[in-house]
Amino acid sequence: MAFVNEDYLKLPGSYLFAEIARRVASFKDANPEANIIRLGIGDVTKPLVPAVVDAMHKAVDEMASVETFRGYGPEQGYDFLRKAVIENDYAPLGVSLDEDEVFISDGAKSDVANIQEIFGKDNIVAITDPVYPVYLDTNVMAGRTGKLEDGRFGGIVYLPCNAENGFVPSLPASKADMIYLCLPNNPTGTTLTKSELKKWVDYARETGAIILFDSAYEAYITEPDIPHSIYEVEGAKECAIEFRSFSKTAGFTGTRCAYTVVPKTVMARTKSGESHPLNKLWNRRQTTKFNGVPYVVQKAAEAVYSIEGRKQIKEIIDYYMTNAKIIRDGLVEAGIEVYGGINAPYIWLKTPNNMDSWEFFDKLLNEANVVGTPGSGFGPSGAGYFRLTAFANRGNTIEAIARIKTRLNLV
Binding site for ligand PLP (CB under 6 A): 42, 107-109, 132, 182, 186, 214, 216, 245, 247, 253, 258
Closer CB to ligand PLP, residue 258 or residue 300?
258
Compute the least distance from the CB of residue 180 to ligand PLP, in Å: 10
Q: For residue 177, which of 123, 217, 258 has the smallest C-alpha distance?
A: 123
Compute the least distance from the CB of residue 346 to ligand PLP, in Å: 9
Compute the least distance from the CB of residue 286 to ligand PLP, in Å: 15
Amino acid 190 reads: T
Give the CB-side neighbour count of residue 4, counting CA atoms within 13 A: 6
Closer CB to ligand PLP, residue 135 or residue 358?
135
Helices 307-333, 50-63: axis angle to 10 degrees equals: 140
Closer CB to ligand PLP, residue 42 or residue 277?
42
CA 70 to CA 42: how far, in whole Å?
34
Closer CB to ligand PLP, residue 184 or residue 330?
184
Residue nearest ligand PLP, Cβ-based: 107
CA 149 to chain centre: 26
> What is the DSSP code string of 342-404?
SSSSEEEEEPGGG--HHHHHHHIIIII-EE-EEGGGG-GGGTTEEEEES-S-HHHHHHHHHHH
* C-alpha torsion angle, residues 20, 331, 226, 259 (rounded to 10): 20
Compute the least distance from the CB of residue 201 to ligand PLP, in Å: 20
Closer CB to ligand PLP, residue 89 or residue 403?
89
Compute the least distance from the CB of residue 132 to ligand PLP, in Å: 4
Give kind and range of the element (H or E) at residue 149: strand 148-149
Closer CB to ligand PLP, residue 75 or residue 242?
242
Compute the least distance from the CB of residue 26 to ligand PLP, in Å: 26
At residue 127, what are phi and psi to the nearest 5 degrees?
A: -130, 145
